[in-house]
Amino acid sequence: MDRAVSVLEILARHGEAGVTDIADELGVHKSTAFRLVGVLENRGLVAQAKDRGKYYLGAGVLRLAGAAAVRLDISQEGAPVCRELADELGETVNIAVLDDDAAVNIMQARGSAAVTAQNWLGRRTPLHATSSGKVLLAHLPDTLREGLLARPLPRFTDRTVTGTVPLRAELKSVVEQGWAVAVEELEVGLAAVSAPVRAHDGNVIGALSASGPVYRLTPERLAELAIRTAAAGVDLSRRMGYGF
Q: What is the domain-level CATH number for residue 49?
A: 1.10.10.10
Q: Does residue 162 sit in the same domain as residue 180?
A: yes
Number of compact structural domains in the chain: 2
Query: Are residue 9 and residue 103 in the same domain, yes or no?
Result: no
Same domain flag for 201 and 104: yes
Query: Among 4-8, 84-88, 117-121, where is mean pLDDT lowest?
Result: 117-121
Asked whether residue 57 falls in the same domain as residue 171, the answer is: no
Query: Does residue 239 have a pLDDT over 90?
Result: no
pLDDT above 80: residue 49: no
Q: How far apart are CA 58 and CA 104, in angstroms?
A: 28
Average pLDDT, the chain: 88
SS (H, E, C) the chain: CHHHHHHHHHHHHHCCECHHHHHHHHCCCHHHHHHHHHHHHHCCCEEEECCCCEEEECHHHHHHHHHHHHHHHHHHHHHHHHHHHHHHHCCEEEEEEEECCEEEEEEEECCHHHCCCCCCCCCEEECCCCHHHHHHHHCCCHHHHHHHHCCCCCCCCCCCCCCHHHHHHHHHHHHHHCCEEEECCCCCCEEEEEEEEECCCCCEEEEEEEEEECCCCCHHHHHHHHHHHHHHHHHHHHHCCCCC
pLDDT at 178: 96
Q: Write down which residue in 22, 50, 70 finishes a domain.
A: 70
In this structure, what CATH number is given to the domain that contains residue 94?
3.30.450.40
Domain boundary among 52, 70, 88: 70
Note whether 42 and 124 are same-domain residues. Answer: no
10 with 58, same domain: the answer is yes
- The whole-angstrom separation of Cα 44 and Cα 28 is 23
Question: Given its phi and psi angles, is residue 86 left (phi above 0), alpha (psi -120 to 50 degrees) or beta?
Answer: alpha
Q: What whole-number distance in Å separates Cα of residue 104 and Cα of residue 79? A: 16
My answer on whether 114 and 231 are in the same domain is: yes
Same structural domain, 26 and 144: no
- For residues 155 and 215, state if they share a domain: yes
Query: 212 - beta bridge partners?
Result: 191
Note whether 78 and 95 are within 8 A (CB): yes
Q: What percent of the chain has pLDDT over 70?
A: 92
Cβ atoms of 34 and 73 closer than 8 Å: no
Angle at 122 between CA 121 and CA 123, to 5 degrees: 90
Measured CA to CA, the distance from residue 170 to residue 208 in angstroms comes to 18
Euclidean distance between CA atoms 208 and 230, whole angstroms: 8
Q: Do residues 201 and 110 share a domain?
A: yes
Domain-ending residue, one of 70, 99, 118: 70
Is 167 within 8 Å of 161 (Cβ atoms)?
A: yes
Q: Note the pLDDT of residue 57.
A: 85
Grade residue 208 by pLDDT with cuts at 50, 70 and 90: very high
Residue 177 and residue 78 share a domain: yes
Same domain as 201, residue 129: yes
Q: pLDDT per residue over 125-182, tens digit each?
A: 999 999 999 999 999 999 999 999 999 999 999 999 999 999 999 999 999 999 999 9
> Residue 13 belongs to what domain range?
1-70
Of 35-49, 106-120, 171-185, the one with minimum mean pLDDT is: 106-120
The predicted model scores a pTM of 0.71
CA quadruple 150, 147, 173, 86: dihedral sign:
positive
